[in-house]
Structure 1
């Protein structure tokens, strides 16, 4: 196993510093915008490009964004006339980015002051084939109160297991473990992927799969970001009847199957498909369950319960 490098404290006195673009995506985040935008202003890293994107908010978000843009003339703004969703809204901004590194920043979250500096310091110590640096996050509620941290630790603060670094393709196939808001991405990786897939309802799983096939990921064992939890978040709505996210998950699993090269990678994908199949049957998404079962068959890892669920979905849908 390749040993991961130790990352020293950042040195922002060295020149030239690579530029970092923060794409700040907003949709009806008015109650949280001031805290989010102030956290950009609080960054200790000096070489930032900031692009504010409002995805046709219906609350007071645009007024707040315009006020901050007026006070920070170098910040760019994009005000979309119709709601386009995260993937399309992000891509509109990404096509204008100039930074060597990019942060996809939802404006209900909060960046800690050293966030950008610490992640740039990581990239400066890593090999060029590292395309993503991610970290731990503090989860907060809608009143900004602490809930917990993204990763569980023992009494000594150690992670069990430690999040994957290096070649993480099989890891991202089998389970969710990356805190999406903590990622800093190399712009060239995003460009090679063509940005986010605009045909999908959400972006992170697809990005992890396609990016991990091209580059290595690094886990920075620090808290760099506060991620806000909402009662109506996607994860709480998931798997309800007619859930648009499930169709996107299936499409990403199809991509993952085509990108898998080894039996170990197909086995990792089977773990994901097996879990998704159970959820689809549980919530009555029988057509989607049949699609998931068909993909699971292609991994050659069908178990007796998988077969039973596949037959149940087929018979109940007839």
Structure 2
């Protein structure tokens, strides 16, 4: 491998909130990287467990690492930005410290990025999904009976695809710094970051898929996906904000239809799990853009009968 100074600098923002039991494997996976030119930020977002003690231990052992210890929880988007706007890396990894980077993760992604032209703002790949205690569960992108990966990973100009369906696993992403700067970092008014990044970035930047497993993502009851669509889920309001942003970015009939597909699915999920006010708001947004069909009208009527005061 060339001398470190001749390689692009890569920033890893290691973002922690009450990850004490997972922190050591996560931070050890940064130390195990074969890529030599790294800038590491350890960010604690107001943890109430022993996370800060572990982070301080690693920071003391590795003085080149930077630390951002927030006195209270301000959320993933704002906490990430606190580190990102101090960083210098040409490429950036948003690393949740309940996950694990495999040793060649950074090296392989930088090598792939360097094969792409400057219109590519993000690349992502496959990953292993682990149980809370670290046992392998499945791959995120897994072959069906015909060998076709599911969910099918799109690449290139994917704005329409990111509206229509979920196919990217955020922990596998490496982002170009220029892309994040163009977006002004993450939107701190939101409670989660990935869908908003995909929508806004894919309008002006291409995405690439790297068919390699370079990351392990941990599944556990406190994860965002485990809480989604339940009553009082804070993520639904952010999803509606992102869909309104997407509506301002749509240019073609097929893009508008992709957004309608997304909103129909979001409304049905909210109704299914009992998030009644949010389901009604999604229905109203669907009607605004001409996307409510007989199924959505039927769900809305059923909600009025079953939950007249919700």
Distance 1:255 1:47, change over 3 A: same
Distance (whole Å) between structure 1 residues aligned to residue 279 and residue 57 of structure 2: 48
Q: Do structure 1's residue 115 and structure 2's residue 72 form an aligned pair? A: no
Residues 283, 144 of structure 1: CA spacing in aligned structure 2 closer, same or farther, 3 A cutoff? closer
TM-score (norm 1): 0.92
Deviation at 1:141, TM superposition (A): 1.4
Are 1:12 and 1:45, in contact at CA under 8 Å, matched by a contact in 2? no
User: What is the distance in 1 between the residues matched to 2:33 and 2:75?
Assistant: 27
Find the counterpart in structure 1 of residue 35 from structure 2.
45
Cα distance between partner residues in 2 of 1:132 and 1:38: 25
Deviations along 1:159-214, one digit per CA (max 9) or x if unpaired, are: 25640000111111111110100100001111111111111111111111111112
Aligned length: 308
Paired residues of 1:287 and 1:313 also in contact (CA < 8 A): no
Helix, strand or coil at the partner of 2:143: coil
Counterparts of 1:313 and 1:265, CA distance in 2: 29
Contact 1:269 1:299 survives alignment (8 Å): no
1:91 maps to 2:81: yes
Aligned equivalents of 2:214, 2:83: Cα separation in 1: 23
Partner of residue 261, structure 2: 271
Give the Å deviation of 1:13: 5.8
Structure 1 residue 67 corresponds to structure 2 residue 57: yes
Classify the secondary structure of the residue corresponding to 1:74. Answer: coil
Q: 1:264 to 1:28 in 2, by over 3 A?
A: same
Give ranges in structure 2 of 5+ residues lacking alignment.
Answer: none
Q: 1:148 to 1:263 in 2, by over 3 A?
A: same
Q: Which SS does the other structure have where 1:165 is aligned?
A: coil
Whole-angstrom distance in 2 between the partners of 1:194 and 1:203 = 13
Query: C-alpha separation between the residues in 1 aligned to 2:294 and 2:146?
Result: 41
Within 2, Cα distance between the matches of 1:292 and 1:212?
Answer: 23
CA apart distance, 1:304: 1.1
Checking the alignment, whether the CA contact within 8 Å between 2:152 and 2:167 is kept in structure 1 is no
Q: Which residue of 2 aligns with 1:187?
A: 177
Report the Cα distance in structure 1 between the residues aligned to 2:254 and 2:304, rounded to whole angstroms: 28
User: C-alpha root-mean-square deviation of aligned residues, in Å?
Assistant: 1.8
Query: In the superposition, relative to structure 1, how do residues 152 and 293 fare at CA in structure 2: closer, same or farther (>3 Å)?
Result: same
Match of 1:82 in 2: 72
Measured in 2, the distance between the counterparts of 1:198 and 1:57 equals 19
Aligned partners of 1:290 and 1:314 also within 8 Å: no
Counterpart Cα distance in 2 of 1:301 and 1:143 = 43
Matching of residues 1-318 of structure 1 within 5 Å: 12=2, 16-154=6-144, 158-160=148-150, 162-313=152-303, 316-317=307-308
Q: For 1:140 and 1:288, locate their aligned partners in 2 and report how far apart those are by CA, in whole Å.
A: 31
* Cα displacement (A) at 1:15: 6.4
Closer/same/farther in 2, CA of residues 14 and 139 from structure 1, 3 Å limit: same
TM value normalised by structure 2: 0.94
Q: Do the aligned partners of residues 42 and 149 (structure 1) sit closer, same or farther apart at CA in structure 2, a change above 3 Å counting?
A: same
Structure 1 distance, partners of 2:76, 2:106, is: 22
